[in-house]
């Protein structure tokens, strides 16, 4: 189940083709995304938990680009009939490509895939490598959401993290330019708590960032993402930022002068808060997520990208390393899964977020009796009071603030279920 094995490219492409042909109770619930990964940044920030490495030789991205475009072309054929709900260029730093290469990547990928009417196409941009030319390319190829990664504006914190400061004037100009070019949503990303950040400096970061004219600001919680500095580093001064609730209070206060508030939509998320005036443009139906409470089919492209095909497979492109010399520069590793495991995951992901799961929603996707399925498979959590039932939903009595802890918990629970007698599965109606 959780062991990562090599998966031949043909097998992966075959699964995407099969996914399109197959029918299950209510396929329309599955949201589809294309995710394009750039595995490089100009330098590696100490707090970064993403798959990226510093680009040692500027401009040396030709092999990366060739491999990515080959992969996109091959995948496009396998997913020809799918309309995706989102296209997301992330990383790493997509804007690390020079203008010509950036345009080639965005245009080639965009022309390979069909997008649905509700789709949002996002490109992450680093304020230090984004340029008007790259914004024009993005807009010309249908990008309607740009996300500028600022993270913090506190010099001391940036120094500890080894990250270059974003130039505020230049960032504000990029926001104005992007809006002028017709980008629907310009977002900026902030991150907390970081070592060296105090309540005062965090408040100042939020306040200064509020003056940049963006549509939304997304605050990611470093602790909730499971990556922590040592307690020593976090307590480097007496006024170190406290827990998520306190951070949320300061964030709200820092936004006051700009008139922005935290959106209702984001109160359902565990790892971030979104504030601004465009919640309808990036919400639960079209927000890119690799692991979601709702079914997703994510087609990842590029070295180190991950893909998550509902009911079939989870895999990662581990790149050229270990690939045969005559290969096309990618090697997939992953594990196969089935609809039964997706049903388990749906329950577990609702537990992660401490959110109730309506019986009717579960049943319309899987065709199983929700209460019967949960009773047959999660008895140990019901006995401990972590799961209960109302008349219409499964109620979840825990919530995970730490992604790594949740991953370990979920792995253990699934191992217990998979090693138990098959009658659990039969009772669920899964076979
Ligand atoms: S720029 Fe972003 S992706 Fe790159 S190392 Fe820093 S935090 Fe990570």
CB neighbour list of residue 371: distance below 8 Å, 6 or more residues apart: 359, 389, 394
In a domain, 227, yes or no: yes
Å from CA of 41 to ligand 1 middle: 6
- Model pLDDT, residue 29: 81
Q: What percent of the chain has pLDDT over 90?
A: 58
Q: Are 231 and 111 within one domain? A: yes
Closest ligand 1 atom to 91 CA: 3
> Which pLDDT band holds residue 46 (cuts at 50, 70, 90)?
confident
The last residue of one of the domains, among 281, 301, 318, is 281
Is residue 231 pLDDT above 90, yes or no?
A: no
The last residue of one of the domains, among 234, 255, 281, is 281
**Mean predicted lDDT score pLDDT of the chain:** 86
Å from CA of 60 to ligand 1 middle: 18
Q: Give 243-277 as a 3 state SS string.
A: CHHHHHHHHHHHHHHHCCCECCHHHHCCCEEEEEC
Q: Are 244 and 373 within one domain? A: no
Is residue 71 pLDDT above 80, yes or no?
A: yes
State phi, psi for 340 to the nearest 5 degrees: -60, -45
Does the beta carbon of 428 lie inside 6 Å of ligand 1? no
Between residues 181 and 320, the one the model is more confident about: 181
CB neighbour list of residue 313: distance below 8 Å, 6 or more residues apart: 7, 12, 15, 307, 334, 335, 336, 337
Q: How many domains does the chain have?
A: 2
Q: Which residue has the tokens 């992953």?
A: 334
Most confident of 103-117, 191-205, 257-271: 103-117
Q: Are 309 and 297 in contact (CB under 8 A)?
A: yes
Is residue 415 pLDDT above 50, yes or no?
A: yes
Between residues 222 and 25, the one the model is more confident about: 222
Closest ligand 1 atom to 44 CA: 5
Nearest CA to ligand 1 atom 3: 92
Å from CA of 97 to ligand 1 middle: 15
In a domain, 234, yes or no: yes
Mean pLDDT of 64-81: 94
Does the beta carbon of 299 lie inside 6 Å of ligand 1? no
Closest ligand 1 atom to 149 CA: 2
Q: What residue numbers bound the domain in which 419 lies?
A: 339-431
Between residues 263 and 316, the one the model is more confident about: 316
- Model pLDDT, residue 429: 47
Å from CA of 192 to ligand 1 middle: 14
Does the beta carbon of 149 lie inside 6 Å of ligand 1? yes
Closest CA to 295 of 65, 26, 47: 26
- Model pLDDT, residue 250: 94
Does the beta carbon of 50 lie inside 6 Å of ligand 1? yes
Is residue 408 pLDDT above 90, yes or no?
A: no
Nearest CA to ligand 1 atom 2: 92
Name the DSSP letter for residue 229.
-
User: Which of the listed residues 45, 49, 123 should we mutate to test ligand 1's pocket, taking the one with most ligand atoms within 8 A of CB?
Assistant: 45
Q: Which of 10-24, 95-109, 317-331, 353-367 is the least confident region?
A: 317-331
> Which pLDDT band holds residue 425 (cuts at 50, 70, 90)?
low
Is residue 240 pLDDT above 80, yes or no?
A: no
Å from CA of 372 to ligand 1 middle: 44
For 29, counting Cβ atoms within 10 Å of its Cβ (0-12 exposed, 13-18 middle, 19+ buried), the class is middle
Q: Are 100 and 220 within one domain? A: yes
Q: Which of 149-158, 250-259, 280-289, 419-428 is the least confident region?
A: 419-428
- Model pLDDT, residue 118: 84
Please state whether beta strands 216-221 and 272-276 pair in parallel, antiparallel, or not at all (unpaired).
antiparallel
> Which pLDDT band holds residue 353 (cuts at 50, 70, 90)?
confident
> Which pLDDT band holds residue 431 (cuts at 50, 70, 90)?
very low
Q: Kindly write down the DSSP assignment for every residue of 417-428, as one continuous string.
A: HHHS-THHHHHH
- Model pLDDT, residue 275: 87
Q: Are 257 and 355 within one domain? A: no
Q: Are 234 and 161 within one domain? A: yes
Q: What percent of the chain has pLDDT over 70?
A: 85
Å from CA of 81 to ligand 1 middle: 34
Closest ligand 1 atom to 48 CA: 8
Does the beta carbon of 93 lie inside 6 Å of ligand 1? yes
Does the beta carbon of 52 lie inside 6 Å of ligand 1? yes
Q: Are 38 and 152 within one domain? A: yes
Q: Are 347 and 261 within one domain? A: no
- Model pLDDT, residue 325: 44
Does the beta carbon of 44 lie inside 6 Å of ligand 1? yes
Strand partners, 336: 313
Helix (H, G, I), strand (E, B), or coil: what is residue 65? Answer: helix
- Model pLDDT, residue 428: 47
């Amino acid at each position: 189940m959780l062991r990562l094995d090599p998966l031949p490219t043909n097998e992966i492409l075959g699964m995407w083709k099969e996914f399109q042909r197959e029918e299950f109770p209510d396929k329309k619930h599955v949201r589809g995304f294309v995710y394009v990964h750039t595995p490089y940044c100009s330098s590696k920030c100490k707090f970064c938990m993403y798959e990226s490495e510093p680009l040692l030789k500027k401009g040396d991205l030709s092999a990366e680009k060739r491999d990515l475009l080959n992969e996109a072309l091959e995948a496009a054929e396998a997913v020809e009939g799918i309309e995706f709900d989102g296209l997301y260029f992330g990383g790493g730093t997509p804007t690390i490509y020079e203008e010509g290469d950036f345009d080639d990547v965005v245009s080639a990928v965009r022309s390979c895939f069909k997008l649905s009417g509700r789709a949002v196409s996002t490109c992450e941009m680093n304020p230090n490598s984004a340029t008007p030319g790259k914004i024009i390319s993005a807009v010309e190829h249908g990008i309607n959401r740009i996300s500028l990664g600022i993270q913090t504006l506190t010099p001391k914190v940036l120094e500890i993290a080894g990250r270059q400061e974003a130039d505020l004037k230049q960032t504000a100009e990029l926001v104005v330019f992007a809006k002028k070019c017709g980008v629907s949503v310009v977002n900026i990303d902030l991150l907390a708590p970081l070592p060296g950040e105090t309540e005062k400096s965090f408040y100042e970061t939020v306040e200064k960032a509020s003056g940049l004219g963006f549509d939304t600001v997304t605050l990611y919680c470093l602790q909730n993402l499971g990556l922590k500095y040592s307690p020593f580093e976090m307590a480097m001064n007496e006024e170190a930022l406290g827990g998520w609730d306190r951070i949320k209070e300061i964030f709200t206060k820092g936004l006051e002068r700009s008139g922005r508030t935290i959106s209702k939509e984001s109160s359902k998320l565990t790892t971030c808060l979104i504030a601004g005036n465009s919640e309808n443009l990036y919400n639960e139906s079209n927000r890119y997520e690799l692991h979601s409470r709702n079914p997703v089919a994510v087609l990842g492209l590029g070295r180190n990208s991950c893909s998550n095909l509902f009911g079939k497979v989870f895999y990662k492109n581990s790149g050229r390393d270990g690939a045969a010399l005559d290969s096309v520069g990618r090697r997939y590793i992953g594990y196969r899964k089935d609809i039964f495991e997706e049903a388990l995951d749906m329950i577990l992901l609702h537990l992660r977020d401490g959110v109730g799961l309506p019986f009717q929603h579960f049943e319309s996707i899987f065709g199983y009796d929700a209460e019967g399925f949960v009773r047959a498979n999660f008895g140990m959590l019901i006995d401990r009071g972590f799961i209960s039932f109302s008349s219409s939903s499964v109620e979840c009595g825990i919530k995970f603030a730490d992604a790594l802890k949740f991953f370990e918990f979920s792995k253990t629970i699934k191992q217990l279920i998979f090693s138990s007698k098959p009658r659990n599965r039969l009772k669920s109606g899964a076979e």
